[in-house]
Amino acid sequence: MPVTNRILTALLFLNLSWFSGVLPAAENASLNSQQRQFLAAHDALLAGKTSEFQRLKKSLRKYNLYPYLEYAELERNITSASDHTIQRFIKQYANTPLADRMRKLWLKELAKQQRWKKYYAEYSDRFSANKTLYCHYLNAALKQRKNVLPDVKKVWLTGKTLPKACVPVFKYLYDSHHMTPDLIWQRFMLAANKRNKKLAKFLAKKLPASERKRYDDWLKMDKQPLESLTRASTQQDDAKLRDLLVYGIKRYSREDTATAWSLWNTRIKPDFKFSDEQINEVERSIALRAAWRHEPEASTWLALLNEAAVNDEAKKWRIRSAIREQDWPNVLRQIGALDEEERSDEQWQYWKARAYQEIGRNVSAKIILETLAKETSYYGFLAADKLGLPYQFNHETVTSDADAPLVKKLAQRPDFKRSHELFKIGWDTDARREWNLAIKSMSKDEKRLAAKLADDWGWHFTAILTVAQARHFDDLELRFPLLYQDVVKREAMRNQIQPSWIYGVIRRESAWREKVRSPAGALGLMQLMPATAKRVSRKLGQKRRLSSSQIMEVPRNISLGSAYLRQVMDKYNDHEILATASYNAGPHRVRRWLPEEGTLPADVWVDTITFDETRNYVKAVMAYSTIADWKLGGKIRRLSERMPTVFTLEQIEAANKEDRLASKM
């Protein structure tokens, strides 16, 4: 459909009445009296209304969430609470997430009070990922004269900036003369490789005076790698210079892989005594970068790597580079080099069959494709397309009718009752903590029951994650709910896209978590970045200023996300695969991944997308969209329809230009 007609269609469907958010009063009206009392008690505590809190707390003594009031009260008084009171709480609620949360609070308070003997006694290895708590533990251990020197060195060796709690621990390294120039240099290079300039500068000042200029050398290597490499290649060999040269050549390969490879092999590697590990690191890095950029030398360079340099990433990109070049004998060789378990993965089985087809071994190809075509998956659907077979939708419920009493019994467990109550009052994070602890030690069969329970509650995201942990992937009803059909179908019609595609994107982006905010700041079901949401909203002539909560409103989120899908479709001449990749990685990256000349089959293009995340994303959205088609009960669009040939950027832009001219006629 011409772009102008699409805009007219959008205007005809424009109706902002459903954009109003759910009022707090409406939410509160759905709560029962105990839930309202609980929230009132919590608010009273936060407001410092102690008498009101105690009155409400007393009336809730038998309520499932009573431990959360006790936790909140103790948290508020942690500085004055006795050890006995805190230990009693931890023991009483040992089977809840509150026990570890309280222990963390207590440990922080013990460190603040410098009660190191008690800290050492109460610390748990479960908290080792928390660097502040772990460094406090090491400090406490040192105070008890424990030998934790290897652990201290391990913490030291990171390119990340560490919390202040680690300072006393590192002071021990200096005071005990274990902090050597080599140890400082190792961390300097770790910081340099992470481009943590502030930390690198700090560490350079700790080096011997004669070595401090290395920081300036590194800065020049970072900013002007070719000039610095050329100058450094004439200097006298030493270990630290070799470290800088390794950094510099890898840095320069980002600008020009071919020149970097040549410079490394002709002027740098021959003249310096690099370790085998350094040689492997550099050559693997340059070869992989060439593969990610689909450069013609990639397959050759990957083939030249020493076997010790060939990690899992290099193995897979040997295959992908051969696929991109459509060098089918090499595809078979590289798949054959995988171990038996890796070769059996349906991804490589599909490409083995594709390669067999291309070299005329049709019987061998058919045997593999017939097996794959029985699967409800991306490669299963591709295989069915190759053979002209109907798609298989293997649906098997996660539980049977006979399991209903067991699910009901599970719902009566105190931990699941707490989780459900927390979910109902909107404390989603606490609800998930309770749930995760409850299922942590469950068997697969028990997790299947738990997945059904979450689904019964309408807690779809948790049901999806739990059934995955149970390794049951065939319940297509539970794993792929089709919620908000009126909104999705309306937005699909408005934007002239398939509702199944919207469902595929939602399922991959958020798995139906409505209020989710990603670490990058993406919001809601369709994971819209705030800037994108506002830009799309303005383009549609809607609200110019949007808060995060407004962007997360389900109807608005689906509306803006669907409109953005339409926009990226317009950029790529209605090519669903390219638009899907663009939705995930951004249009500028997709342009770089297009073929520079000729065309590519869509399955080849998808499996050679540079980013692992985007490659897996596109495959998932295509599979999920196909399942959504099946569940919606209409025509099932085959992947062969969704995945037309991929053209060059010039060809796509020319086609878009023709569409624009046609729309004006």
CATH number at residue 256: 1.25.20.10
**Residue 489: CB partners within 8 Å, gap ≥ 6?**
499
Q: What is the pLDDT of residues 283-332, one digit of tens each?
A: 999 999 999 999 999 999 999 999 999 999 999 999 999 999 999 999 99
Section 83-110 average pLDDT = 97
Average pLDDT, the chain: 93
Q: Identify whether residues 180 and 318 lie together within a single domain.
A: yes
Whether the predicted pLDDT of 24 surpasses 80 = no
Cα 375 to Cα 44, 392, 643, distances in angstroms: 55, 6, 19
On the question of pLDDT at 27 being above 80, the answer is no
Count of other CB atoms within 10 angstroms of residue 408: 12
CB 525 within 8 A of CB 506: yes
User: Distance between CA 503 and CA 514 in Å, rounded?
Assistant: 14
Mean pLDDT of 507-527: 95
Q: What is the pLDDT of residue 28?
A: 59
Q: Which amino acid is at 526?
A: M
Give Cα 115 distance to the centre of its chain: 39
> At residue 14, does pLDDT exceed 60?
no
pLDDT, average across residues 96-124: 97
pLDDT class of 657 with cuts at 50, 70, 90? confident
Together in a domain, 231 and 327: yes
Q: What is the CATH number of the domain that holds 578?
A: 1.10.530.10
The full length of the chain comes to 665
537 part of a folded domain? yes
Q: How does pLDDT run across 368-386, given as a tens digit for each residue?
A: 999 999 999 999 999 999 9
Which residue from 457, 465, 441 is spatially nearest to 408, judged by alpha carbons? 457
pLDDT score at 662 = 76
Angle in degrees, CA 206, 211, 212, rounded to 5: 55
Phi/psi for 117 (5° steps) reads -65, -45
Structure token pair of residue 95:
């089977």
164 or 663, greater pLDDT: 164
Same domain, 490 and 463: no
**Placement of tokens 């040192």 in the chain:** 142
Res. 25: pLDDT tops 70: no
Residues 241 and 354 in one domain: yes
User: pLDDT grade, residue 439 (50/70/90)?
Assistant: very high
Based on the domain organization, do 469 and 570 belong to the same domain? no
CB–CB of 390/384 below 8 Å? yes
Work out whether the CA dihedral 561, 564, 568, 569 comes out positive or negative: positive
610 CB neighbour count, 10 Å cutoff:
17
Distance, CA of 610 to CA of 293 (rounded, Å): 7
pLDDT for 4: 36
Is residue 168 situated within a structural domain?
A: no
Give the chain's domain count. Answer: 4
Query: Do 20 and 550 meet the contact criterion of CB atoms below 8 Å apart?
Result: no
Q: What pLDDT shows up at residue 220? A: 96
> Same domain for 139 and 187?
no
Residues 436 and 541 in one domain: no
When mean pLDDT is compared across 14-18, 40-44, 503-507, 660-664, the lowest value belongs to 14-18
Instruction: Indicate whether 429 belongs to any domain.
Output: yes
Single residue among 359, 378, 412 that ends a domain in this structure: 359
Burial class (CB in 10 A: 0-12, 13-18, 19+), 334: buried
- CA distance to 313, 354, 570, 575, 603, per residue, from 385 (Å): 29, 12, 27, 18, 12
Q: What range defines the domain where residue 323 resides?
A: 155-161+174-359
Of 359, 390, 416, the last residue of a domain is: 359
Over residues 153-157, mean pLDDT: 97
Cβ contact 548:523 at 8 Å? yes
Decide if pLDDT at 29 tops 70: no
Closest CA to 50 of 67, 69, 68: 69
Helices (H) and strands (E) in the chain, counts: 42, 0
Q: Render pLDDT for 567-604 as a digit per residue (tens, 0 to 9).
A: 999 999 999 999 999 999 999 999 999 999 999 999 99
Final residue in a domain of this structure, among 106, 122, 154 = 154
Under DSSP, the state recorded for 402 is G
**C-alpha dihedral sign at 429, 434, 440, 446:** negative
d(CA 507, CA 297): 38
Tell me the pLDDT tens digit for each residue of 132-148. Answer: 999 999 999 999 999 99
> If you average pLDDT over residues 257-278, what whole number do you get?
97
- DSSP label at residue 387: H
Q: Tell me the per-residue pLDDT of 445-478, one tens digit each, with 9 for 90 and over.
A: 999 999 999 999 999 999 999 999 999 999 999 9
- Averaged pLDDT for residues 95-115: 97
Q: Are residues 501 and 649 in the same domain?
A: yes
442: CATH: 1.10.1240
Does 452 fall in a domain?
A: yes
Q: What is the pLDDT of residues 473-502, one digit of tens each?
A: 999 999 999 999 999 999 999 999 999 999
Note whether residue 5 is domain-resident: no
User: Is residue 339 situated within a structural domain?
Assistant: yes
Under 8 Å between Cβ of 479 and 623: no
The answer on 204 and 336 residing in a single domain is: yes
In a domain, 531, yes or no: yes
Summarize the confidence of residues 615-629 as an average pLDDT. Answer: 98
Q: Report the candidate in 342, 285, 352 with the shortest Cα–Cα distance to residue 316.
A: 342
Give yes or no for a contact between 560 and 574, defined as CB atoms under 8 angstroms apart: no
- Check residue 614 and give its pLDDT: 98
- Give residue 660's pLDDT: 78
Q: How confident is the model at residue 26 (pLDDT cuts 50, 70, 90)?
A: very low
Does 501 lie in the same domain as 589? Answer: yes
In the chain, the percentage of residues whose pLDDT exceeds 70 is 95
Upper half-sphere CA count for residue 356 (Cβ side, 13 Å): 19
Closest alpha carbon to 66 in 418, 438, 427: 418
Q: What are phi and psi of 389, to 5 degrees?
A: -100, 155
Q: Is residue 147 located within the same domain as residue 182?
A: no
Q: What is the 3-state secondary structure (H, E, C) of 140-171?
A: HHHHCCCCCHHHHHHHHCCCCCCCHHHHHHHH
Q: Which two tokens stand for residue 59?
A: 């009336």
Q: For residue 128, what pLDDT band results from cuts at 50, 70 and 90?
A: very high
Residue 11 domain flag: no
- pLDDT at residue number 466: 98
2, pLDDT greater than 70: no
Query: Do 207 and 58 belong together in one domain?
Result: no
Would you state the pLDDT for residue 58?
A: 96
pLDDT at 7: 33
